[in-house]
Amino acid sequence: MGKRKIIIDTDCGSDDAVAIAMALNEPSIEILMFTTVHGNVSAKQAAINTLTTIEYSNTYEPPVYIGCSKPLLRSSEFAYETHGDDGLGDLGFVPKRLKVAKGNGVIKLIEALEKADDQEIEVITLGTLTNIAIAMRMAPDIMKKIKRISMMGSQGLGSGNVTPVAEFNIWQDGEAAKIVFEFGVPILAVGWDACLDEALLDSDDIKKIRNGSELGKFAMDCNRQLMELNRERFGYDVLDLADPSAISAILYPESIKECDDYYCEVDTSSSLSYGSVLVYDKFASTNKPNAAICSKLHGDKFKQYMYKTLCQSQKED
């Protein structure tokens, strides 16, 4: 069988960078392009960070296109406190050679799908869903050709990370997320809860990856701001890496511990519950499930996959 063909849409902050590096070192897939979106940082800065990550990964170089710069209806709320002002820990990481490709990310996404066969391309989203929602409104028939949308998004079956009930990627543009969940394309949503508990990286895990390769060092160092934030929160070094958890679940499903099908809808009311994904079990709704929700990973398998893609693959090259 041929490689899985993938388009990755990202708001590339520090945990996105780790996930992108992992994906670039996964031999079973071919990343056709990256599209960037507002979220952790601006869409322009996300493109710079994606290019930087591609250079550090030193594998192949898919084009990077800039997409939507703001949510459909709201103002952007960047996550500088988590990822730093530049999204990569404010350590001066920049691309030395690669440049942003010409063209709009949303248009390029639509064009790639239009040229492809039905079910040929999968879309992975690591950030806000604005690009995907706009594409669905612009070219619904073409977007129906997507094999599956796999996202880091939703609070899963637990609580949120930006409000008690909402996860950042959904909360940043709830209206866009609502469009995506209601569109009818198969969805795998890896929740915020999947990166917690046994999937948390402790100081030994961080040290092992950082010392494993130059890419591993980049992956841990660019999360400096998150580590400092967590040191204040928890009192010790720990990393909760949502996007790498999602990439593991998507590309290495053996790492999934808990995943089931649910009917989901996104709350876009102006109340405190804005941006939450309401997950109905089979007894609470007669609607057909529209998403698979991954809420827990096998921590050992996830960490092994991280080390393999960030460190062992680099040594093999």
Distance of CA 22 to the CA centre of its chain: 12
In one letter, which amino acid is 304?
Q
Q: Is 84 helix (H, G, I), strand (E, B) or coil?
A: coil
Rounded Cα–Cα distance for residues 215 and 244 (Å)? 14
Cβ–Cβ under 8 Å, residues 98 and 54: yes
Rounded Cα–Cα distance for residues 247 and 272 (Å)? 30
Nearest to 55 by CA among 106, 14, 6, 99: 99
Cβ–Cβ under 8 Å, residues 302 and 257: no
Cβ–Cβ under 8 Å, residues 292 and 189: yes
11, 15, 205, 243: the active-site residue: 11
- Give me Rg for the CA atoms of the chain: 18
Determine whether 205 is an active site residue: no
Catalytic residue IDs = 11
